[in-house]
Amino acid sequence: MPNPLSRRRFLGAAAGAAAGAALGPAIHARRSPSQTLVVGVMGTGGRGTSLALGFEKLEGVEVATVCDVDRKRAEAAAGSVGKVHERKVNPVGDFRRILDDKNIDILVIGAGNHWHAPAAIQACAAGKHVYVEKPCSHNPWEGEMMVAAARKHDRRVQMGNQRRSYPKIVEAMEELRKGAIGKVSFSRSVYANVRGSIGKGKEAPVPEGLDYELWQGPAPRRPYRDNIHPYNWHWFWHWGNGELGNNGVHSIDLSRWGLGVDYPIRAVSSGGRYAFDDDQETPDTHVVSFEFEGGKRITWEGLSCNRGLGLGPYVSFHGSEGTLVLEGAGYVVYDKNNKEVRKVAGQGSDAAHFQNFVDSIRGGAKLNSEIEEGHKSTLLCHLGNIAHRTGRALRCDPKDGKIRDDADAMKLWKREYEPGWEPKV
């Protein structure tokens, strides 16, 4: 495993020099046995702690360090993870402590979307394998950089779209390939929730124990406001990607997988904010559509503030001879007249996706959601959001998804970064 890069190289001279004195020595004095994979987890909110517990429960895997910019959350997560095998887990505030620790093999990223790609790119350069939550990037350019970093440093990088590892979902995709519903040309996915208003926020002192400077990280600096942290950043373009990037990526990934498509030739969007007059910027009602070569299409319908008919995550495939619907961890096949032909129950868990990741590191197993596949699905979400923000249909290059003949839309392909924090490969 290559040695980690110095802070100066992966953060830039100014940011690295400022941080250097605070990081201190590596927290592990020992090297784990070769059969044990040692993990550091970045971000310990609800999902981050779940990731840490999940990896800790895998055979031959040890979560050594959990990191959060909120000191109390880091300490609470360390306590919870430590109880699994009755041992000490180190809580830290700066994820660069994980990168500097040569005993740690894997960085698991459960922090905010604006951190996913920058942290993953740095981790690859530091010799770590990476498990990164969805969406894998905050913008399309970052996704491209993640793929490049994984290739340059020969690291295993898996995105957390865990349904790729559900056995009966895998079987459903095989049924589509075998022609269970004939020629498949269209997939529809839906997500609905009943989120409330976040109100009108105001500038406020940073809460005690929160390192807001590090929380912002690669994002250009903004004053702390009282309705953004720890979750509502999802609904601001500066840090998040709206419901499309938050939950839509799961179902859109399944639609893309089932249709066997990569990059679109066209993306359109319709929707807006209708439920509340508050600070949220991203749409609470959103419909996006993607066209692909070969006459294939994906649509996604997202309702953040109205469950409507009670639809939760839902994905259907429509073919010349019938319909296949993904239902929970299983699937149902219907004929052309909507008569049920076959219903297959299934079970799925995060653990299978985690296990696939560690099996790939140990023995070269094929990753179920290798970062290039994760990028392709995340990119559809970015294109849907760009179409929404520009108010225009986008023409895209089927080779890489880049937007054609629209310089203004391409300005959203990449974000501005805080000086010294732009990812580099």
| Whole-model pTM over 0.75 | yes
Radius of gyration over alpha carbons of the chain, in Å?
21
Single out the residue of 410, 386, 15, 22 nearest to residue 221, CA to CA. Answer: 15
Q: Residue 347 CB: number of other CB atoms within 10 A?
A: 11
Q: Is residue 286 pLDDT above 70, yes or no?
A: yes
In the block, residue with structure tokens 């032909």: 341
The whole-angstrom separation of Cα 71 and Cα 53 is 18
Taking a C-beta distance cutoff of 8 angstroms, is the pair 99, 126 a contact? yes
What does the pLDDT read at residue 34?
55
The whole-angstrom separation of Cα 255 and Cα 103 is 39
Helices (H), 269-370: 350-363
Q: Is residue 393 pLDDT above 50, yes or no?
A: yes
Q: Which fold has domain 164-199+224-349+368-405?
A: Dihydrodipicolinate Reductase; domain 2 (3.30.360)
What does the pLDDT read at residue 6?
34
Taking a C-beta distance cutoff of 8 angstroms, is the pair 108, 40 a contact? yes
Instruction: Return the percentage of the chain with pLDDT > 70, whole number.
Output: 91
Q: Is residue 277 pLDDT above 60, yes or no?
A: yes
Positive or negative, the CA dihedral 156, 248, 76, 218 is: positive
User: Tokens at residue 232, please?
Assistant: 């509502």
Give the Å distances, CA to CA, from 63 to 31, 69, 74, 96: 13, 18, 13, 16
Q: Where in the chain is the domain with CATH 3.40.50.720?
A: 7-163
To 10 degrees, what angle do helices 371-390 and 140-153 make? Answer: 160
Give me the chain's average pLDDT, please.
92
Tell me: the pLDDT tens digits for 84-130? 999 999 999 999 999 999 999 999 999 999 999 999 999 999 999 99
User: Tokens at residue 83, please?
Assistant: 């109880």
pLDDT band, very low/low/confident/very high, at 357 (cuts 50, 70, 90): very high
Q: Residue 345 CB: number of other CB atoms within 10 A?
A: 11
What does the pLDDT read at residue 30?
36
Give the Å distances, CA to CA, from 294 to 51, 255, 285, 312, 319: 38, 15, 29, 30, 14
Tell me: the pLDDT tens digits for 36-95? 999 999 999 999 999 999 999 999 999 999 999 999 999 999 999 999 999 999 999 999
Taking a C-beta distance cutoff of 8 angstroms, is the pair 113, 386 a contact? no
What does the pLDDT read at residue 312?
62
> Which backbone phi and psi does 188 adopt, to 5 degrees?
-120, 135
pLDDT band, very low/low/confident/very high, at 2 (cuts 50, 70, 90): very low
Q: Where in the chain is the domain with CATH 3.30.360.10?
A: 164-199+224-349+368-405
State the DSSP code for 246.
I
Q: Calculate mean pLDDT across residues 234-260.
A: 98
For 84-95, give the DSSP string.
HHT---EEES-T
Q: Calculate mean pLDDT across residues 286-294.
A: 98
pLDDT band, very low/low/confident/very high, at 313 (cuts 50, 70, 90): low
The partner residues of 65 in beta bridges, in order of sequence, read 40, 90
Which tops the pLDDT comparison, 403 or 7? 403
**Exposure b/e, 33-45, CB count within 10 A at least 16 = b:** eeeebbbbbbbbb
pLDDT band, very low/low/confident/very high, at 200 (cuts 50, 70, 90): very high
Which phi-psi region, left, alpha or beta, contains residue 323 (left: φ > 0; alpha: ψ -120 to 50)? beta
Q: Tell me which CATH code domain 7-163 carries.
A: 3.40.50.720
CB contact set of 417 (below 8 Å; sequence gap of 6+): 218, 219, 220, 423
pLDDT band, very low/low/confident/very high, at 20 (cuts 50, 70, 90): very low
Taking a C-beta distance cutoff of 8 angstroms, is the pair 119, 111 a contact? yes
pLDDT band, very low/low/confident/very high, at 10 (cuts 50, 70, 90): very low
Q: Calculate mean pLDDT across residues 196-216.
A: 98
Q: Calculate mean pLDDT across residues 267-290.
A: 98
User: Tokens at residue 127, please?
Assistant: 């010799």
What does the pLDDT read at residue 15?
35
What does the pLDDT read at residue 69?
98
> Which backbone phi and psi does 41 adopt, to 5 degrees?
-115, 125
Say how many residues make up the chain. Answer: 425
Q: Is residue 178 pLDDT above 70, yes or no?
A: yes
Helices (H), 260-416: 350-363, 371-390, 407-410
What does the pLDDT read at residue 308?
75
pLDDT band, very low/low/confident/very high, at 336 (cuts 50, 70, 90): very high
CA atoms within 13 A on the CB side of 166: 23
What does the pLDDT read at residue 28?
34
In the block, residue with structure tokens 């779940």: 50
The whole-angstrom separation of Cα 218 and Cα 235 is 18
Helices (H), 5-100: 7-11, 13-23, 46-56, 71-85, 96-100
What does the pLDDT read at residue 296?
98
Rounded to the nearest 5 percent, the helix, strand and coil shares of the chain are 35, 20, 40
The whole-angstrom separation of Cα 230 and Cα 117 is 19
Task: Put the strands of the sheet holding 330-335 in their side by side order.
Answer: 340-344, 330-335, 322-327, 314-319, 184-192, 296-303, 285-292, 266-272, 394-396, 403-404
Tell me: the pLDDT tens digits for 152-170? 999 999 999 999 999 999 9
What does the pLDDT read at residue 307?
86
